[in-house]
Amino acid sequence: MDTTRLRELVTGDGPFASVYFDDTHNTEDAAKQRELTWRDLRARLAEQDASEVTLDALEAAVLGGEPPVGRSGRALVATADGEWLDRHLSEPPARSEARLSRLPYLVPLVEYGELPPPHVVAVADRIGADITAVDEHGTVVDALTVEGTDSHVHKVRRGGWGHRDLQQHTEELVKQNIERAAERVAASARSTGASLVVVAGESQARKALLDALPEPVRGHAVEVQPGGRKPGSGEDELDRSIDELLADAVRARRDDVVERFTAELGKPTGLAVQGLEAVTTALREHNVATLLLGGLGSGGNGDTGDNGDAGGEVAEVLTGPEPALLALRENELTAQGIDAGDTRRARADEALLVAAVAVGADVISVGERVDLTDGFGALLRHD
């Protein structure tokens, strides 16, 4: 997960109320179910002494606004100063979370809210294409229609001496329209750094568009059958196809991180470490490129749970005045010139993610793909 947009969050003042829940909206009573879910979450936060201001800010966010379409999860983080984070998750969390703590709790956001890679979708026909580009933050940055002319861009049905000339003219117009669309698709792909280009629409048009794309962009392009430019032309099927492709891309990205981590860990001086001691040291030195989370689970309302330690208790670390100042022992922080009175204890499943955001590291949940010591690993920037 790209943590760029979380920087402001981790520099704010707590306590933070972190809420995660199933926000699926696919039944007639979905709105009522959301209200009941929120009542439970609010009660759990109130038991942890969350302020009324914080609770009201969360309530306005949860119950207000447009509901999602279909299966969805929701992530919210707020303080008494207002709402800091409100994001729909690609899938509902395994269970709802309501935690009030000094630091924001981000593990479920990483587990269920990893954004797909930047991508471009082009739905083509003989006239042109509808193009949508999405950046690495999940934001639509380009949504436009590129069209040429529809003059004579139809199958010629009459014979006679002019038939061949008309047919050639039609084919040339179609070619120009497709080339114009391909140029725009390529420009959008380059500007967003898209690693996936989805091409849909009329069979001949999408094949022609694929052929017209420049090689670097064509290498990331995938042709799908559903969807067309006319209303009712399989939009739902197209959306499902795109969702599947994006989910595959997210899985592939996680698998790639695991492969690189395993390879580096196997080298005598590889750029990978695991375990709380090694990872906190790397974070303190701003030497983490990607923080890996194993099967940490969650601790619900701040209760103890499986957080990667052998005893089943919540793993803790020491923190200093700055988010990245982490250690397992006090002398490691005092050696940095930090007064012992300025150190505090914090949950590892909160402090390490906050530190990773602060140093500009990516964070990725690898689940059970690799057995990480203490539930944490890191790919390093340098040895």
Averaged pLDDT, 172-197: 92
> Can you tell me whether residue 8 is helix, strand or coil?
helix
Return d(Cα 15, Cα 23) in angstroms, integer.
Answer: 24
Say what percent of the chain tops pLDDT 70. 89
Q: Whole-model pTM?
A: 0.84
CA distance readout (Å), 189 to 20, 184, 372: 33, 8, 36
Identify whether the C-beta of residue 220 lies closer than 8 Å to the C-beta of residue 118: no
Predicted local confidence at residue 164, as pLDDT: 52
Which pLDDT tens digit goes with each residue over 296-350?
A: 754 444 443 333 343 457 899 999 999 999 999 999 999 988 998 899 999 999 9
Domains of the chain: 4-112 (3.30.960), 119-250 (3.30.420.60), 266-380 (3.30.1330)
CA distance readout (Å), 6 to 114, 254, 301: 13, 20, 22
Which pLDDT tens digit goes with each residue over 26-79?
A: 888 888 999 999 999 999 999 999 999 999 999 999 998 777 777 889 999 999
Which amino acid is residue 120, in one-letter code?
V
The string over 60-98, giving b where at least 16 C-beta atoms fall within 10 Å of a residue's C-beta and e elsewhere, is ebbeeeeebeeebbbbbbbbbeeebbebebbebbeebbb
Return d(Cα 18, Cα 121) in angstroms, integer.
Answer: 34
CA distance readout (Å), 52 to 10, 47, 105, 308: 22, 12, 20, 33
Which pLDDT tens digit goes with each residue over 362-373?
A: 999 998 899 999
Residue labelled with tokens 């593990």: 107
Return d(Cα 332, Cα 328) in angstroms, integer.
Answer: 8
